[in-house]
Structure 1
Amino acid sequence: MIFLELFITFFQIGLFGFGGGYGMLSLIQGEVVHNHGWLTTSEFTDIVAISQMTPGPIGINSATYCGYTAVHNAGFGYGMSILGSVTATFALVLPSLILMILIAKVLLKYMNTPAVQSVFSGLRPAVVGLLAAATLLLMTAENFSAPDINPWQFWISCFLFAASFIGTMYFKINPIRMICYSGFAGLVLLY
């Protein structure tokens, strides 16, 4: 039953997840953590971190890891957990595959019409909103701690967040370097 639920859930996310993988993160978290309870917030945060560090699109990587972890947490063994990964990944990619096959020729034919341009203009703010939601959903006490629980971890986490944002946005530091720097700083300062 969990495989059918995984397929339906990730198919819906793939169908309605505009803006790429980062835009899908809030949808994935809402479904796997809050609606179905397959993962904890902490597990999801770890999955996002691993998905960013591994090669490939973050949405697909997240689906793969979420499928594996959901099936594993449900008490199934290694082989079935692999099947969960395949199910979630395939379900996430399937809507895009179907839609691209169906609309490729139509879109090329009508790309420069005012109606199509208006649709894309309307989607841009929605994508920015989904990215902002994904960022805000990951800013929890589990990830940043809280000033009254562990002030040292909270302020170091806020500093690393701000430094990463400023470093990539204004100083154009490679995001891979920022991940390495932040990981090293977290290891040194929070251990």
Structure 2
Amino acid sequence: MIYLQLFIVFFQIGLFSIGGGLAAIPLIQEQIVDTHAWLSISEFTDLITIAQMTPGPIAINSATFIGIRLAGFAGAVVATLAFITPSVILVMTLAYIYNRHKQLDAVQALLNSLKPAIVAFIASAGISILQTALVDTSQLPGAPFDYVALVLFILAFICLRKTKFDPILIMLSTGLVGGMIYLIL
């Protein structure tokens, strides 16, 4: 019976948690702590802390940890699968619709109109990361600009665009060179 309850609860959470893993946490708390009283608020807080520290999406980690806490390994499998099932169904449905109608001009126009927005989102994230790397915002106002990081960024960018070097090798090399430079300075 616990497996069915876990499946229903986490299927509902997966279905209605739009906005990412952190948006699912209040839904999980409401179901697990308030409605079913499977965990105390203290246990839930500890679980969220562990889920946030482990690799992977926090909501899926939470589902897995709650499942294992309530019903062992099988409970973890049931809760995790229940949580991801709505997303899998949605993605498979959209993929089917796309494959069936990709030749339509309206579909191609929609996808072409989304490309600039996607590039803008990626560029915005990249610029934010670059700003964080180049300016030590913990020392505001008058935060010092990190010229070493800028030179390393430019060299890494050139290597990525102009050579066939492995990106992981470039990251490791940049980290080693930067580490040595910062130790000297």
1:93 Cα deviation (Å)? Answer: 6.5
Which structure 1 residue ranges, 4+ long, deviate > 4 Å from structure 2? 89-96, 148-151
Would the alpha carbon gap of residues 183 and 98 (structure 1) be closer, same or farther in structure 2, given more than 3 Å must change? same
Would the alpha carbon gap of residues 116 and 89 (structure 1) be closer, same or farther in structure 2, given more than 3 Å must change? same
RMSD over aligned Cα, in angstroms? 3.8
1:176 Cα deviation (Å)? Answer: 0.5
Secondary structure at the counterpart of residue 12 of structure 1:
coil
Would the alpha carbon gap of residues 118 and 93 (structure 1) be closer, same or farther in structure 2, given more than 3 Å must change? farther
Residue 130 (structure 2) pairs with residue 139 (structure 1):
yes
Q: Matches of residues 109-128 of structure 1 in structure 2 within 5 Å?
A: 109-128=100-119
Q: Select which of 145, 151, 157 maps to 1:159.
A: 151
Secondary structure at the counterpart of residue 130 of structure 2:
coil
What TM-score, normalized to structure 2? 0.53
1: CA distance between counterparts of 2:148 and 2:113? 38
2: CA distance between counterparts of 1:133 and 1:163? 21
Q: Matches of residues 51-130 of structure 1 in structure 2 within 5 Å?
A: 76-77=45-46, 79-84=47-52, 87-89=58-60, 96-130=87-121
Secondary structure at the counterpart of residue 139 of structure 1:
helix
Bigger radius of gyration among the two: 2
Residue 182 (structure 2) pairs with residue 190 (structure 1):
yes
2: CA distance between counterparts of 1:186 and 1:114? 49
2: CA distance between counterparts of 1:95 and 1:173? 40
Identity within the alignment, %: 22
Aligned length: 124
What TM-score, normalized to structure 1? 0.51
- 1:11 touches 1:95 (CA, 8 Å); kept in 2? no
Q: Deviations over 1:53-96 (max 9, x none)?
A: xxxxxxxxxxxxxxxxxxxxxxx54x442334554347997775
Instruction: Considering Cα pairs closer than 8 Å and 6+ residues apart, tell me whether 1 or 2 has the greater RCO.
Output: 1
1: CA distance between counterparts of 2:143 and 2:92? 52
1: CA distance between counterparts of 2:173 and 2:93? 44
Would the alpha carbon gap of residues 182 and 99 (structure 1) be closer, same or farther in structure 2, given more than 3 Å must change? same
1:102 Cα deviation (Å)? Answer: 2.0
What stretches of structure 1 of length at least 5 have no aligned partner? Answer: 1-6, 15-27, 32-75
Would the alpha carbon gap of residues 186 and 88 (structure 1) be closer, same or farther in structure 2, given more than 3 Å must change? farther
1: CA distance between counterparts of 2:100 and 2:88? 19
What stretches of structure 2 of length at least 5 have no aligned partner? Answer: 1-13, 24-44, 64-82, 137-141
2: CA distance between counterparts of 1:105 and 1:93? 18
Q: Deviations over 1:84-121 (max 9, x none)?
A: 45543479977752321222322221111101111111
- 1:111 touches 1:117 (CA, 8 Å); kept in 2? yes
